[in-house]
Amino acid sequence: MMASDPVDPGNDDLEPVHAPGAIQPHGAMIVCEADATTIAFASANAAAFLGLGDAPLLYRSLIDVFGVDTAHELRNALSKGSSLPVGGTLSVLRLGTTAFDVVAHRHDGRFIIEFEPAHGPIPGGDALDLMQAMIRRIGLESSVDGIAVAGARLVRTTFGYDRVMVYRFVHDDTGRVIAESKRADIGSCLGQQIPVADIPVRARRPDLQNRLQVIGDANYVPVPLLTGKAAQSRPVDMSHSHLRSVSPIHCEHLRNIGVAASLSISIVIDGKLWGLIACHHDSPRTVPMPLRAAAEMFGQYFSLQLTVAQRRADVEVASEAGRPPDDLEMMEVERTRTEQRSRILNDELNHRVKNILALVKSIAAQTGAHAASVAEYSASLEGRLRALSYAHDQSLVLGSRGELSALLDAEASLHRYGPLRHGTHERVKLSGPRIGFTDNAFSSFALVIHEMMTNAAKYGALSVPQGRLSIDWMLDADGACIVDWSENDGPEVFAPSRKGFGTTLVASSMTYDLGGSVSIDYAVQGLRARFSIPARHVMQLQGDAVLPRTAGIVARPLAGLNVLLLEDRALIAIDTENILYRLGAASVDAFPNVAAASKALAAAEPDLAILDFKLGDETSADLADWFANRRIPFVFLTGYIDSASIPLRFAAIPVIRKPVDVDRANEALVQVLGR
């Protein structure tokens, strides 16, 4: 059927939704019977799409068409996907010079293989990171409305559609939009009713089986699925297919409302279609397979969160109405929440244990490589692991604010006092304000201080009774912590003849782990060192509480403002968008590149812009000039330690460093807005 052919809405419920006999043209499909060796069906575009020319495909073996190695890869994918009823297995296959995303699954006694062009560098790990970030963010919400609003924002930021709606079905099968995230220049659908005709009853069966549906272009011409024995063969059931052609009536409806592409994620509660996350775009758009897999998994977790929230709300309503809540229902809600919490905690514990084991392995290997004897190896390894253990204990006791003075005091305790002519005198002096570090920074700096203290005790000022060590720290104007290390009255100092593991550990921990800096001066009178820990790791403490930064802090500096966010990394965009909403933003439009942002600016101008300066192979300099010429306030976002990459003409523009901290963002935004 051509996209321009007339359609009869009255026939919609009669359409074979699960077996349309055609696919969308942004991919190709081949289908094997139960033997998984011979091609029984192939989309009409398959040979050309896969670079096979005019070669016939039907009733040929996979080996004959693709060669032994490729056929082996396809059969492996089919084997792994044979037990997966939904989605199948995803892999990347190269045919000639072209890379394809391939998904394979078994259904209704057949093996279905789908091919789409690989969309560049979107590795599975990145897709998994995106999904985990989305799940963790949605896990912060506990109400149905809160989950829906957060879900709409997350999906739009991650997948880049113009509008994302969350709508739920009510008793008469109509849908009501309960949450929305959209471009600032388009009208709102929030609160609107979606007619039942927009999603007929027959079309809901695939939504329960294949919980994600993509339409790359509402004007597409379906590609027929061919077979040489169509009259004798039952049609291919595409209930779980990514490429399944959709109802032409639905496509016509999308065109009528100005939508060129869509993505829908089913929300299923208790085995029933509760609602949809519907994504709309005004131009053709196809989300790559790895991201669609992440979207499908997010949809399942989203449904779980809504299930818990819905049941909690039902219990609260029953209680307010004077009816005693069903104990079994409450137990089920709590059980679901406990299982979910346990799963997240186990994942986090697994992640931390792996990181710790990797760190211990590295420390053990490097210590052994530089030790002169077994005894030296044992002593060095024990000390380093003790420092790591202490940092871990402090992070558990103090949450995310391990205190610097406590760390220094613990390391200095073995060396603090020594016999002098006039009795015992303190050899290690500590001076500075109460400062705390984040968990990761505390662990990294604990290793640095241990190495410095060990070196002082073996070769420096603390190796002799009269030696002294002073450690002073302060916060600089940017909020970074500056630690000065000064040794005096020790042996004569010489620069080391070789760079040992301790020196390497100090340098790498400061620059790589912390993003800070270290300078060491082997002065004759005693070793001098200065450490700079970036402000994002630092918090000033008072008593048992963390002191907020008071300079330049306004509770909601973005109240009522529409913000444009330019950031090419989806995970960072998600976190930054969340911070901007916390700071009061009325709306946040996130874009991954200059072209997408420029297109949006042609339709509507924001009140403020947050611009990542370096975006892959391009920069946001021209866009910054555009904002400057229109006197629209903006700030830069960058992961670089300094601002050397930003042109001098922008020297007065505030810069927010990554990872984005809410207080630092607040200060920069207050500065640029003059509030």
- Write out pLDDT tens, residues 255-268: 988 999 999 998 88
> Which of 117, 144, 175 is the endpoint of a domain?
117
- Beta-bridge partner residues of 545: 542
Percent over 90 (pLDDT), the chain: 19
| pLDDT for res 544 | 38
Q: Which of 80, 300, 104 is nearest to 208 (CA)?
A: 300
CA distance 534 to 543: 23
Q: Are residues 126 and 113 located together in one domain of the fold?
A: no
User: Residue 206 to residues 218, 281, 523: CA-CA distances in angstroms?
Assistant: 19, 22, 75
Q: What is the pLDDT of residues 282-322, one digit of tens each?
A: 999 988 887 887 888 888 889 888 888 888 777 776 666 66
CA distance 552 to 584: 16
Q: What is the pLDDT of residues 143-162, one digit of tens each?
A: 888 899 989 988 988 888 99
CA atoms within 13 A on the CB side of 270: 7
Residue with the larger pLDDT of the pair 204 and 618: 618
| Whole-number average pLDDT of the chain | 76
Q: Are residues 113 and 132 located together in one domain of the fold?
A: no
Q: Which of 427, 438, 435, 425 is nearest to 481 (CA)?
A: 435
Q: Are residues 54 and 126 located together in one domain of the fold?
A: no
Q: What is the pLDDT of residues 357-413, one digit of tens each?
A: 444 554 455 445 545 666 655 555 555 455 445 444 444 444 434 688 877 876 775
Q: Are residues 514 and 607 located together in one domain of the fold?
A: no
pTM for the full model? 0.58
Where would I find the H helices in 593-661? 594-601, 621-629
Domain enclosing residue 494, as ranges: 371-542
Domain-embedded: residue 665: yes
Q: Are residues 162 and 255 located together in one domain of the fold?
A: yes
Number of domains composing the chain: 4
Residue 237's pLDDT band (boundaries 50, 70, 90)? confident
Q: What is the pLDDT of residues 438-458, one digit of tens each?
A: 767 887 788 788 788 878 877
Most confidently modeled range among 55-59, 117-121, 503-507:
55-59
> Is pLDDT at 657 greater than 90 in this prediction?
no
CATH number at residue 485: 3.30.565.10
Residue 601's pLDDT band (boundaries 50, 70, 90)? very high
Lowest mean pLDDT among 126-140, 407-421, 464-478, 575-589: 407-421
Torsion angle of the four alpha carbons 203, 205, 208, 209, in this order, in degrees rounded to the nearest 10: -110
Residue 332's pLDDT band (boundaries 50, 70, 90)? low
Q: Are residues 39 and 175 located together in one domain of the fold?
A: no
* Mean pLDDT computed over 201-230: 75
* Mean pLDDT computed over 234-251: 86
* Mean pLDDT computed over 615-621: 87
> Is pLDDT at 637 greater than 80 in this prediction?
yes
Q: Is 505 helix (H, G, I), strand (E, B) or coil?
A: helix
Q: Are residues 309 and 201 located together in one domain of the fold?
A: yes
CA angle (5, 7, 9) in 5-degree steps: 170
CATH number at residue 577: 3.40.50.2300
Q: Are residues 146 and 294 located together in one domain of the fold?
A: yes
**Cβ atoms within 10 A of the Cβ of 21, count?**
16
Which strands, in side-by-side order, build the sheet including 175-182?
A: 193-194, 175-182, 163-169, 272-281, 261-269, 212-215
| pLDDT for res 562 | 92
Q: Are residues 76 and 126 located together in one domain of the fold?
A: no
Domain-embedded: residue 330: no
Q: E strand or H helix at 131, and its extent?
A: helix 124-138
Percent over 70 (pLDDT), the chain: 71
Residue with the larger pLDDT of the pair 415 and 81: 415
Cβ partners under 8 Å of residue 165, min gap 6 = 152, 177, 179, 180, 189, 277, 278, 279, 280
Residue 201's pLDDT band (boundaries 50, 70, 90)? very low
Cβ partners under 8 Å of residue 325, min gap 6 = 315, 318, 319
CA distance 479 to 248: 59
| pLDDT for res 397 | 44
